[in-house]
Amino acid sequence: MALPKRIIKETERLMAEPVPGISAVPHEDNLRYFDVSIHGPSQSPYEGGIFKLELFLPEDYPMTPPKIRFLTKIYHPNIDKLGRICLDVLKSNWSPALQIRTILLSIQALLGAPNPDDPLANDVAQRWKEDQEAAIQTAREWTKTHAMT
């Protein structure tokens, strides 16, 4: 189990100085696999919800981005049914200068600022554009049913 220094240091820092509203805990048996939970940002339809995610650091991390997806169901134009996230920093815009904590921060920011013009879940994005009020209401209901237990 040879873990690069960088992963150890990132994990240490995540434990020692956690980001407010975000927690990331490595699995005991696989230190590249993290259980993540993100609190829905205030002033957003996800406020009050706690969303569970899984994060995996691939073999060539940090040269390739971490793999991350939502485990909690969420109604969001940039997150699909399987929990996959459409976020440029997780794909083409990844940089090895980014870290687990910055990625989780940007996911939290994405909850606060949905971007229906760069959709992953097409039907959600469509609805978001046509009737934003109703879409936000649905997101709020989903948060209540799935992310508040």
Partner 1 sequence: MQPHFDALFAESVRSSPSLSPSSSSSSLSTHGATQAATQGGNYDEPPSKIDLRALDYVTDYDSHLMCPICHVPFLHPVVLECDHTFCNSCLKEYREGASSGARSRCPTCRAVLSSGPRKASRLIVNMCNETKVRCPNDDCQEVLPRGCVEHHATKECPHERLRCPDPKCDKLVKRRNHVPAQCIHISHIECDCGAVIELGKGEWLRHKDEDCPNTGVKCEECGQRISASDYPGHICNPDDDHSCPGKQYGCTDDFSPEDSEAHLKSCPLARLAPHLQKQSQLLQSLQEQLIMVKVRNEVLENGFEKIHDVLNDRVLPYVSHSDHSPAEASDIEEIERDHIPSALSQRDLLMPAHLGDLTPSADPDSLSISQTQQHLLALHESLRGNVSNIENNISTLTNTISDLDARTSMQIMNETLRIKEDLAHTSAALFSTRAQVQWLMNRERVGQQQQAMGIRGRAPSAQPPVSNQAPSARSSVSEGGDSSGQGQSLEGQPSASILGSSPSFRPQIRRQSGGSQERVKL
Residues that bind partner 1 (CB under 8 A): 1-6, 8-13, 15-16, 26, 28-29, 31, 59-60, 62-64, 87-89, 92-93, 95-99, 101-102, 105-106, 109, 113, 115, 118
Least separation in angstroms between CB 20 and partner 1 = 13
Active site residue 134: no
Angle at 18 between CA 111 and CA 136, to 5 degrees: 15
In the set 24, 86, 124, 139, the catalytic residue is: 86
Nearer to partner 1 by Cβ, of 45 and 114: the residue is: 114
Nearer to partner 1 by Cβ, of 61 and 75: the residue is: 61
Q: What is the C-alpha separation between 120 and 37, in angstroms, rounded? A: 21
1-38 in b/e burial notation, b at 16+ Cβ within 10 A? eeeeeebeebbeebeeeebeebbbebeeeeebebebbb
User: What residues are annotated to the active site?
Assistant: 86
